[in-house]
Structure formats: structure tokens, C-alpha cells
Chain A
Amino acid sequence: MALKIKRQINRSFGGTLAIWVLLCIFAVFMLLPLIYAVSSALKPMDEFFLFPPKFFAENPTIQNFKTLFSVFDNSEVPLSRYLFNTVFVSVLGTVGQVILSSACAYALAKLHFPCREVMFKVIVASLMFNSTITSIANFLTLRSLNMVDTYWAVIIPSFASPMGLYLMKQFIEQMIPDTLLEAGRIDGAGEIYMFIKIALPLVKPAWLTLIVFAFQALWNTGSTAYVYKEELKTINYALSQIQAGGIARSGAAAAGTVIMMIVPMIVFVITQSNILETMATSGMKD
């Protein structure tokens, strides 16, 4: 007789209700920046600079979006190319980062080979170092590899994300019991096979989360310091340069900001709803 375990063990109704209310209040508060960004994009110019600003546009208009598109209409490099650049860089970078991080994390977490401890410590230590100075060194490295002003200048550095690796390693440690792997080895599965077929699916929440971070970082930065050719720029970079055109471009820039937000949001929603797959069983009973 299987105990039909609902999640609601040890839960009082009052407690749940209180939690609900608290969360909803906070959630609204957290949404303010988003609402503000969207409403700014919809404001006509005579409301745009109002102070104190309003959270909702009085006479919403899509003129800002139209202006934005017209700016791109007459450029030598078409909007579709910028879009392609952004997607290319973001997707490639994200995929690369997730794969490389997961692979290395798995190796460090579950496999035994020389220097494993040292490698890991080095990686975690590198997380501690953040500074604007590293960008100069990166530039020189890229230059000597002749990768400046190409797509790879953005993609390759993003592969080496210590944070991504650390994240994956911790999750792998938590969610994959050694015994599972031992069983697999006994059954004759190869190490790499086990990595791909057994380990990865088990840490789905982890790499879904990593996708969000990696994608967002790539989508938002575009390594502006290393790319100069117009046809290689990402949309984000191009949009930020529209704002720099002066006060007359404020409306179009606000519209651009909103468009830039939409894709990471969609990625976020998709991945989050997939994290909900709870682990029914781990396949092993100790």
C-alpha cells in the first residue's frame, strides 16, 4: 500500500496563507522596475521626462518602437543581421558554457584523477578575483590570438565561467549518489556514457539554471570592448549606441531596452517551468 504522500505534510493552513500574502506583496514591489521600463517605452516624448515620473503612461503610444525600427531601416547593416549576431553569440556561448562546465564539473566531482583537488581550488579561487584590469589582459590575449573583432572574441571567453562550473559541481555532488555510478560501472557502462546518459538528466535543474545565467550574461554584454565592426555587433550593443545619440533618441532607447528584456525573460520562464519536474525517485534506495 503506497502512502499517497501529498506535499502538504507538516503544513498548517495559516502558515501557507501568511506566506502567500507576504510573497505577493513583495512580488509586486519587485516588479516595479519592469513596469517602469515598459511604461517608459510607451510614453510619448512630452511625458518622457516628467519628474516625478509616472508608472503608467497617460497616452501610451508605440511611436518609440516605430522610431527604433526606422533607425535600423536605413542602416547598411540590416536589423536581421544584428539579431542573427546576438542569437548566434548567445546560443553558441550558452551551449558551449553549459557543456564545458558540466563536463568539467562532473569530472571534478565524481571522477578521480591526479590534480583534481588543486584544479578545483584554483577554479574557486579565481571566482574571488574580479577587477577591471583583467579586461586589459584579455584584450592582449585575444589580440595575440587574432580573435579581436570577430565573433569568437565574445564567445570563447564566455566558455570559461568558473561560476558555471562551481554551480554544476555542487549540484552534481548533491544530486548524484556515488552508489549510482558504481552500479553503472559494474554494469559495464563507460565513464563518458554515464556522464551523458545518467548524470546530466539527473541535474536538469542545475543546467537549466545555468542556461539562464549564461544566456543573460551573453545577451546583455556582448563584450563591447572587443568588437568594432558594425556587422558583428549584437543588438544590445547597437541599441546602447542609439541612446548615445543624444536626448532626441531617448524614446527609441527606452523601446530598445524593453525589447532587450523580452528574450531573457522568455528563456527564464521556459527554464523555470522545467525545473518543476521534481525528482520522483533517485533510482536507488539506500
Chain B
Amino acid sequence: MKKAKPRKSYSRNEVRAGLILALPFFVPFLLFTIIPVLGSVIMSFTDFNMLSMPDFVGTDNYVRLFLQDSIFMKAMGNTFILALVIGPGGYILSFIFAWLLNEIGPKVRTILTFCFYAPSISGNMVVIWQMFLSGDSQGYLNSILYRLGISSTPTIWLKNPETIMPIIIIVSLWSSLGTSFLVFIAGLQGVDRSYYEAGAIDGLRNRWQELWYITLPLMKPQLLFSAVMSITSSFGVGTLITNLCGYPTVNYSAHTIMNHLSDYAGTRFEVGYASAIATVLFAMMILCNKVIQKLLSKVGT
């Protein structure tokens, strides 16, 4: 059912101001975001190998991707699992922590926010996890298990196909307190106090009701933003896995689409095929995005 769009008349001032304000952004955006994306899509129909001029091959890459590439299928599966868990998981976690921090007084809040955001700044969270999960018998996890008498030989956590996926999920969740987290904090600050007062007068009795009926609806724009960011990052999980478990993960057990992409682009020099993968990933994410938007519009009702 198509909604009839009321044709608004554009005021000349608005149009002029709008264009003046918007265009400066669009020039670099076009050059450095749109063109590469278009280029990528075009390249997906070629067999570019990074070093010589590409040849047009039509849809060969896509055919191969869907029909002959079993690793891609596995990667898709892995990516979906990870995205389903990490996406919403990380999202909810970020929100919970942001909301919890919002309940605390201002000075302490700055300190705690800093603590929570610290891993993103110091950028070496992978190192800590590697230490903890090392396959060395003196690694933290292994030596704890040994002391407790649970296992007598060290397990190589990061190279055991059975344990890799759960580990990735845990580590990703832990490191998901990044962009979304800060955005939520800022957003929570932006909610007008008067609404809370009104709510209290109207009969809301505890924090939870306040959260659902007032805070969340008022933060819909931020919720949407963070949702999009979460989708993007959870589908794009790749570097974390490589840093943690080596490349590629044993038996492709945690091979994601991004890993597959960098494999083809960086190691095998098949940039055309990698572009095809990227385009497919892109399409998938846009689809998911639409779904999420529908879901979020129902928040607060």
C-alpha cells in the first residue's frame, strides 16, 4: 500500500540553506565512500588480482560463491550465529551499562565511564584474552583448571574447533562497549528532566516503568543509530577473530564472511571475488537493517 506523500512546497530559504549545509559533506563523501563502494561492486564482476588490469567475467564470481564455495556457506552460518548473538547481545549490554551509569552521580559517572570505555582506547584487549586463554599449561585458564583438578592436560582453547566459537562470542560481547555505549550515555543525558517529573506525577512507580515508558521512546533515534552500528560491527566481525585465534581459524570453525573476504583479497589476491563477497554482505546487512527498523518502531508501545 503506497502512502500518498503530501507534496510539501519547499521554501527557498530552506532549500538554499539545506544545500549549503549539506554539500560540503557530500563532496568528500562521494569521493571517498561512494566511489569506492561503486568501484567495489563493479569489481565484483571482474577478476581483478591487484596487480594487472581486470577482465570482465560477468556473474561468474557470484555463481561460484553461492554454488561452489562451501567455505562461504560455513562462513555465512558462522556470521549469522555471531551476529544474532553479538548484535543484540552487545546492544543490550551497552544500553544496560549506559543506563546503570546514568543512575549514578556525575563525578563517579565520568570515572566509571572511563573505566568501561578503557579497553577501546587502550586497544590491547585481545592481548589480555590471549594470556588468559593461552594453550600453554601455564596460561591462566589452564592453570586454574589444573589447580582445581578439573583437567590435567592443558587445552588449547584458541585452536580447538569446538571451543573457538563460544570464546569469540564471549570476547566480542565483552568488547562491545564502544560506540553504542557512549552514544547511549550521551543520549540518556539528553532526555529532558521534565518528562521524568511528569511521569512521576502520572503514577510511574519504579525505575523499570520509567525506563520502558519514558526513556526508551524518547531515545528512539539513538536506539536506531546504535542498532545500525551494532549490525554493522557484528556482521563485520573479522579482525578480532584473526587477532585472537590466528588466521584462519582451525577447520574454519569461526570463519566469518569478513575473514573470507580478507582471505580472498589479501592472501589469495582474488580481489574480484572478494568484491562479490563484500557486495553480498552488503545486501544482507541492508536487509537486516530494514527488519530492525521495523522492530524498533514498536518500542514503548
Do A and B contact each other directly (Cβ–Cβ < 8 Å)?
A: yes
Assess the B118–A124 pair: CB atoms within 8 A. no
The docked-state distance in angstroms from the alpha carbon of A167 to that of B11 is 26
Q: Contacts A30-B118, A33-B118, A171-B221 given; indicate if A133 touches B100 (C-beta within 8 A).
A: no
Q: Of the listed stretches B64-72, B73-81, B125-133, B154-162, name the one at the interface; the rest are far from the partner chain.
A: B125-133
A77 to B41, CA, bound (A): 42
Total count of chain A residues near the partner, CB < 8 A? 102
Q: Is B212 an interface residue (CB 8 A)?
A: no
Chain A residues in 8 Å Cβ range of B206? 10, 12
Q: Are A136 and B271 in contact (CB under 8 A)?
A: yes
Verify B192–A279 contact, CB threshold 8 A: yes
Chain B residues with a Cβ closer than 8 Å to the other chain, count: 109
The CA-CA distance from A103 to B20 in the complex, in Å, is 9
The reply to whether the CB of B166 lies closer than 8 angstroms to some CB of chain A is no
B121 within 8 A of A: yes
**Interface bits A119-159 vs B (CB < 8 Å: 1, else 0):** 10011111111111111111001000100000000001101
Residues on A with beta carbons closer than 8 Å to the beta carbon of B232: 127-128, 130
CB B11 to nearest CB in A, in angstroms, measures 7
A278 CB contacts on chain B under 8 angstroms: 189, 193
Cα A120 to Cα B22 with chains together (Å) = 11
A-side contacts of B110, CB under 8 Å:
269, 272-273, 276
CA distance A145 to B229 in the complex (A): 31
A19-B100, A51-B136, A220-B123 known; A137-B35 Cβ under 8 A: yes
Indicate if the CB atoms of A36 and B128 lie closer than 8 Å.
yes
- Docked-complex contact B286 and A125, CB < 8 angstroms: yes
CB pair A195–B21 under 8 Å, yes or no, is yes
Chain B's closest residue to A203 (CB) is B190
Q: Are A268 and B22 in contact (CB under 8 A)?
A: no
Contact across chains for A133 and B36 when beta carbons are under 8 A apart: yes
Q: A30-B118, A37-B122 are in contact. Are A131 and B278 (CB under 8 A)?
A: yes
A186 surroundings in chain B (CB, below 8 A):
none
Q: A208 to B186, Cβ gap below 8 A?
A: yes
B189 pairs with A205, CB closer than 8 A: yes
* Pick from B37, B112, B200: contact of A23, CB under 8 Å: B112
Contacts of B35 in A (CB 8 A): 137, 141
CB distance from B180 to the nearest CB of A (A): 11
Closest to A127 in B: B232
Report how far A103 CA is from B224 CA in the complex, Å.
Answer: 20
B31 to A160, Cβ gap below 8 A? yes
User: Inside 8 A of B17's CB, which chain A residues have their CB?
Assistant: 107, 111, 190-192, 195
Interface segment, one of B55-63, B83-91, B243-251, B260-268: B260-268
> In the complex, what distance in Å separates the CA atom of A101 from the CA atom of B100?
29
Instruction: Please report which residues of chain A, range 8-42, place their CB below 8 angstroms from some CB of chain B when the two chains form the complex.
Output: 9-12, 15-16, 19-20, 22-24, 26-28, 30-34, 36-37
Interface residues of A in 71-116 (CB under 8 A from B): 100-101, 103-104, 106-108, 111-114, 116
B186 engages A205 (CB within 8 Å): yes
Taking the nearest CB of chain B, how far is it from the CB of A210, in angstroms?
9
B230 to chain A, nearest CB (A): 11
CB-defined contacts of B40 to chain A, threshold 8 Å: 129, 131, 133-134, 137
Determine if B101 is an interface residue (Cβ-Cβ < 8 Å). Answer: yes
Q: Report if A52 contacts B (CB, 8 A).
A: yes
Contact of B222 among A7, A171, A257, A261 (CB under 8 A): A171
Q: Is B170's beta carbon under 8 Å from chain A?
A: no
Asked whether any CB of chain B lies closer than 8 Å to the CB of A59, the reply is: no
Q: Judge whether B207 and A276 touch: CB under 8 Å.
A: no
Chain B hits for A203, CB < 8 A: 190
Residues A107 and B21 in contact, CB atoms below 8 Å apart: yes
A264 is an interface residue with CB less than 8 A from chain B: yes
Contact call A10/B190, Cβ cutoff below 8 A: no
Q: Give B261-301 interface residues, CB cut-off 8 Å to A.
A: 261-262, 265-266, 271, 274-275, 278, 281-282, 285-286, 289
Pairs across A and B, CB under 8 Å, 28 listed? A5-B196, A5-B200, A10-B200, A19-B100, A30-B119, A33-B119, A36-B128, A52-B138, A100-B28, A107-B18, A126-B37, A127-B228, A129-B282, A132-B265, A133-B265, A133-B274, A133-B275, A134-B39, A137-B36, A138-B36, A160-B29, A165-B25, A170-B225, A191-B14, A191-B17, A192-B20, A206-B190, A279-B193
| 4 nearest A-B residue pairs (beta carbon) | A191-B17, A137-B36, A104-B25, A170-B221
Task: Beyond A157-B32, A209-B182, list 8 extra A-B contacts (CB 8 Å).
Answer: A30-B115, A100-B24, A100-B28, A103-B25, A104-B21, A119-B26, A141-B35, A213-B179
Write the residues of chain A forming the contact surface with B, with a CB cutoff of 8 angstroms. 3, 5, 7, 9-12, 15-16, 19-20, 22-24, 26-28, 30-34, 36-37, 51-53, 100-101, 103-104, 106-108, 111-114, 116, 119, 122-138, 141, 145, 156-157, 159-160, 162-163, 165-167, 169-171, 173-175, 190-192, 195, 203, 205-206, 208-209, 212-213, 216, 220, 257, 261, 264-265, 268-269, 272-273, 275-276, 278-282
